[in-house]
Chain A
Amino acid sequence: MDLASLKNEIVNMLQESVGASEYSDYQVIKDDEKAGKLYEAYVLASVCSSLKNKEGLRLELSVGEKIYLKRGTGPINRAYPCIEAYRDDELVAEIWTDVCFISQSYLRTSKYLRSTTPQYGDYHELDILMVEPNVDSYPLPEQIWLGVECKNTGMRKGILKEILGIRRELSFISESRNTKFKKWPQTEARSNPPCCLMLYSSDEAVEKYRDSGNFYDIKFIHQEIE
C-alpha cells in the first residue's frame, strides 16, 4: 500500500464513522472523564470478582439497583449505597468509592497543634476503599482492609510518587502482619496497620515501577478494559 492509499483510508474511516452517532442530550461529564470513571467501574468489577471467587465473600449492594461513583471526594456518605461484603452470613466489610481516609500525619500530630476537624492535607482519597462496616465520615487507617487507586492514563513518575505518598499516610512499614483476608489479595502485609494497597493501571508501563511498589507492599497491576 502506498502513502496516498493509506491517507485515503484514514479520511474515509474518520469521515464516515464519526459524527453519525452523536449522543443528543447535553452531557456534563465529557468523554475523557467518562473513560476514567468507566475504568474505575471496571476495576471495581474486577476487584469484586476476585473478592467473590478467590476470597469467598458474598457481595450485596446496600440499597437500590445503581452503582454510584463520585465526581468529587469526601467522607463516607451513608445516604448513598455501598457494597456490603459478607463472610457466610456475617457483614464483615463495606466497599465505598471515591472516599477519603484520615492521614497518619494528622493522627500522629498532637491535638494541640492540629485543626479540630481534618482539612486539606489531613485526608487523602482512594478510588475504592474496603472498610469495616458501619464507619461514618472519614475512615481511620486501622479500619481499612483494602485501598485501590485506578489510573486510566499513561503511567508517569508522578503516579508512582502519588501512590508512595498514599502508602506513607495509610500505614508505616513494619514486619509482616496478618491482613483481614484469608486468600485475596494477600494474607500478610509489611505495614502497620496491615492495609492492602493496589494500583491498577491501563498502561503496561506500570510494570516497570513494580520494584519500589514491592518494597512498600503496594501491588501494581496492569489491567486494560477488555
Chain B
Amino acid sequence: MQVSLALNLLEETLTKDEFDELYLFLRQEVSAAGLSQVDQVIDMEFTRNLDGKESVERYTECLLKMLKERNSKIGDSILDLLNYSINTKSGKPIKDIEVLFSQEESKRYSKQSENIRKGKDYSDLISRIEIFNYKLSQAPENTPRGPNNGPGFP
C-alpha cells in the first residue's frame, strides 16, 4: 500500500531538468502570444538567476502580477481609489486618468493626451494562470539537489 502510494507520488513529480524545459517552453509560448516584452522583463529582472521549479513558479507569479497591472480593469479600481480621496469643484466624480503629451507629440498624434484606462482585458488569462499556478504547486520537484541547494546530482 505504502509502496504504491510512493510510486503514485513519484509519477506526479517532475525533475529539475523537466522544470527547466517547462520554463523555456513557457517563455516561448508567452512570447508567441504577443507578450515578448513582458517575458523579457521577467527574465531580466526576476528569474535570470533561478532554476528548476523555483524559476517556473517565480515566472508565472511575475506574469500574473504584470498582467494584472496591464489589465484595463485595474484602471477602474484606481479611479475608484482616487475618487475616494479627491473631490472635484463640480461635485461630480473624477471620470478619467490621462497622460499628457509633449507639444511635439501633440502635433504628431493630433491629440493632447491619451486615456490610460483603455486597453486590453486580460481578466480571462489572469484566471487561467491562477488555475495553472495551483496545478503547478501540486507538481513537486523530485531531483535531489547538491549542497546549499546547488545544482542537482547527475
Interface string of B81-94 (1 = CB under 8 A from A): 11011111110111
Assembled-state Cα–Cα distance A39/B92 (Å): 24
- Shortest CB–CB separation between residue A127 and chain B, in angstroms? 12
Residue from A18, A25, A37, A156 within 8 A of B33 (CB atoms): A18
Tell which of A14, A21, A37, A68 has the most Cβ of chain B within 10 Å: A14
Counting CB contacts under 8 A, is A175 at the interface?
A: no
Given A2-B11, A27-B119, A48-B25 contact (CB < 8 Å):
no
Question: How many of B's residues come within 8 Å of A, CB to CB?
Answer: 69
Give the chain A neighbours of B132 by CB distance below 8 A. Answer: 9-10, 13
Give the chain A neighbours of B97 by CB distance below 8 A. Answer: 37-38, 41, 66-67, 69
Tell which of B12, B33, B38, B102 has the most Cβ of chain A within 10 Å: B33
Give the chain B neighbours of A42 by CB distance below 8 A. Answer: 78, 81
Assembled-state Cα–Cα distance A39/B135 (Å): 30
- Shortest CB–CB separation between residue B53 and chain A, in angstroms? 11
| A152 (CB) vs chain B CBs: closest residue | B69
Taking a contact as CB atoms under 8 Å apart, the answer to whether A49 and B70 are in contact is no
Given A17-B125, A21-B120, A153-B45, A68-B99 contact (CB < 8 Å):
yes
Give the chain B neighbours of A156 by CB distance below 8 A. Answer: 45
Given A9-B132, A41-B78, A60-B86, A17-B99 contact (CB < 8 Å):
no
Residue from A3, A11, A23 within 8 A of B21 (CB atoms): A3
Taking a contact as CB atoms under 8 Å apart, the answer to whether B114 and A28 are in contact is yes
Taking a contact as CB atoms under 8 Å apart, the answer to whether A35 and B66 are in contact is yes
| A21 (CB) vs chain B CBs: closest residue | B121
Assembled-state Cα–Cα distance A67/B131 (Å): 36
- Shortest CB–CB separation between residue A66 and chain B, in angstroms? 5
Residues of A within 8 A of B (CB): 1-3, 6-7, 9-23, 25, 27-29, 31-32, 34-35, 37-39, 41-42, 44-46, 48-49, 51-52, 58-72, 80, 83, 152-154, 156, 202, 224-225
